[in-house]
Amino acid sequence: MNFLNNKWFRAAIPALLLHCSIGTVYCWSYFGIETAFEGVAGANALGWAFSLAIFFLGMSAAFLGNFVERNIHKASSIAAVCFAIGVIGTGVGVRLQSVPLTIACYGVIMGFGLGLGYLSPVKTLMLWFKDNKGLATGLAVAGFGAAKMIFAPIITALNHAVGVEYTLYILGAIWFVMMFCGHLLLKKPAGWNEPHEPISVKEFFSRFKIFGDVKFIGIWLVFYLNITAGLALIHCEKEIYEIVGLVSVASLLGTVTGFFNAAGRIGYSSLGDRMKDRNTIYKIILASELLITAVAVVTGAITNQIAVLCIVLLIVVNLGYGGGFSNLPTLLSDVYGMGNISSIHGIALSAWAMAGLTGNQVASLIHEATGDFQSILYFTLALYAVAIVVDFLLIRSKKTKTETAAEVKTEA
């Protein structure tokens, strides 16, 4: 089996199996769960299932990064079990017409599995692909972005054939098999030994002192603002297509933007490998998002039904949304080294948790208050503007000689 002991079979393939499964969390609207609850009391609260899934993803990653750091196999196996139980439990919730059970399964149990599954392969990839860390993490999280593109049409076909409930049962089983295979294949390269001794409660919470570092605050804020703005638009993507007269091809366009979401994860991270300062990528991402959103605001793209501009807007936002994820762990490793990258990356993903509670929820409030989706663009434009200012003022990814020496000493 030595021919299997390489970076593709031990890192890239298992990462794709894990992330292509958990990335289907973004297929919430395609499952038709809310439609299955029409007329049920409290059904208007179902939107919180998706928000809580993202929240628990980020928070489980933040608090369990140290656990993942020490045992990727336990983490990936627990992720597979929790994610599958969450999906299948959501099917049971649909059958029983239980809003609380559906929210608990999709939002909490699935969310917990999402966080562990998301973190598990990232450090392993960077260890195997030492000279192309950006490409490595881009491959992993590209699977997360491509999941919607791959599974949205499958979910739609299954819904028509067997209904929402059985679609969730079938896919829950398929995703468990995919994730468990990824768990079995995932392995760090020979020669890399992780510390296995338990840490004290004091040491555990000391990791959160990183929020006292200005550079980390800057990275956290930029990531949070970019993801919040992205979620605000991506969650109403289908409705925007319908408003501008593209209802007949809305599902196809959802697949197209899913492709660009994945492409941004590989493209931007690979480009980052070729730059002296990886943070330059975030400047490029934010500048492109700011520019296209400003054009859409000035022209009234949604209100005036400028279909081509709306498509370009959502493509650019999806590109930047994906690129923001793939460049986060590599930027953090440039700044803080590889020693505790899973833990630091997990803490940084708490920004994703906060974005999950604010992005689509604020967008929904704006839509309810104004009655149109164009107003959401003013919100996202402001977020992109603040993000680019924070990026220029607070983030510096290039390490000083003192920081580099400290990193070498720590890893030794």
| Rounded alpha-carbon distances, angstroms, from residue 210 to 332, 345, 392 | 12, 11, 20
Q: How many helices (H) and strands (E) does the chain have?
A: 20, 0
What pLDDT score was predicted for residue 8?
A: 83
What pLDDT score was predicted for residue 199?
A: 63
Taking only the tens place, the pLDDT of each residue in 164-221 is 999 999 999 999 999 999 999 988 887 666 555 566 666 666 778 888 889 999 999 9
Mean pLDDT, rounded, for 3-20: 85
H or E, element range at 1: none
pLDDT classification of 389: cutoffs 50, 70, 90: very high
Distance CA 302, CA 96 (A): 39
Average the pLDDT over each of 85-89, 221-225, 242-246, 303-307 and give the range with the smallest value.
242-246
Q: Of 228, 15, 239, give the one whose Cα is nearest residue 123.
A: 15
Taking only the tens place, the pLDDT of each residue in 114-141 is 989 988 887 788 788 877 777 777 776 7
What's the token pair of residue 306? 């400028």
Average the pLDDT over each of 70-74, 121-125, 190-194, 397-401 and give the range with the smallest value.
397-401
Q: SS3 breakdown of the chain: % helix, strand, coil, rounded to 5?
A: 85, 0, 15
Check: CB of residue 24 under 8 Å from CB of residue 152: no
| Rounded alpha-carbon distances, angstroms, from residue 392 to 222, 279, 331, 371, 386 | 10, 9, 15, 35, 10
What pLDDT score was predicted for residue 412?
A: 39
What pLDDT score was predicted for residue 170?
A: 97
Residue 356, burial from CB neighbour count under 10 angstroms (0-12, 13-18, 19+):
buried
pLDDT classification of 11: cutoffs 50, 70, 90: confident
Distance CA 329, CA 121 (A): 12
CATH class of 1-187: mainly alpha
Average the pLDDT over each of 96-100, 189-193, 282-286, 394-398 and give the range with the smallest value.
394-398
What's the token pair of residue 80? 């597979």
What pLDDT score was predicted for residue 202?
A: 66
Check: CB of residue 313 under 8 Å from CB of residue 292: yes
Mean pLDDT, rounded, for 386-411: 62
What pLDDT score was predicted for residue 277?
A: 83
pLDDT classification of 400: cutoffs 50, 70, 90: very low
Q: pLDDT above 70 covers what percent of the chain?
A: 91
Highest mean pLDDT among 86-100, 232-246, 316-330: 86-100
Mean pLDDT, rounded, for 295-318: 94
Domain ranges of the chain: 1-187, 210-412
Average the pLDDT over each of 18-27, 39-48, 123-132 and give the range with the smallest value.
123-132
Check: CB of residue 164 under 8 Å from CB of residue 33: yes
Sign of CA dihedral 188, 191, 194, 197: positive
- Tell me the whole-structure pTM to 2 decimals: 0.80
Mean pLDDT, rounded, for 373-377: 93
Distance CA 20, CA 353 (A): 20
Decide if pLDDT at 290 tops 90.
yes
What pLDDT score was predicted for residue 411?
A: 42
Question: What string of DSSP letters covers 101-142?
Answer: HHHIIIIIIHHHHHHHHHHTTHHHHHHHTGGGHHHHHHHHHH
| Rounded alpha-carbon distances, angstroms, from residue 328 to 73, 322, 336 | 23, 10, 12
Q: What is the mean pLDDT of the chain?
A: 86
Decide if pLDDT at 99 tops 80.
yes
Check: CB of residue 59 under 8 Å from CB of residue 119: no
Crossing angle for the helix pair 374-394 and 214-234, to the nearest 10 degrees: 160
Check: CB of residue 51 under 8 Å from CB of residue 114: no
Decide if pLDDT at 297 tops 90.
yes
What pLDDT score was predicted for residue 27?
A: 85
Taking only the tens place, the pLDDT of each residue in 311-340 is 999 999 999 998 988 888 888 888 888 777
Q: pLDDT above 90 covers what percent of the chain?
A: 41
Decide if pLDDT at 401 tops 50.
no
Distance CA 35, CA 137 (A): 36
Mean pLDDT, rounded, for 267-274: 84
Superfamily of domain 210-412: MFS general substrate transporter like domains (1.20.1250.20)
Check: CB of residue 95 under 8 Å from CB of residue 114: no
Measured in degrees and rounded to the nearest 5, phi and psi for residue 76 equal -70, -35
What pLDDT score was predicted for residue 184?
A: 93
Average the pLDDT over each of 3-12, 194-203, 237-246, 347-356 and give the range with the smallest value.
194-203
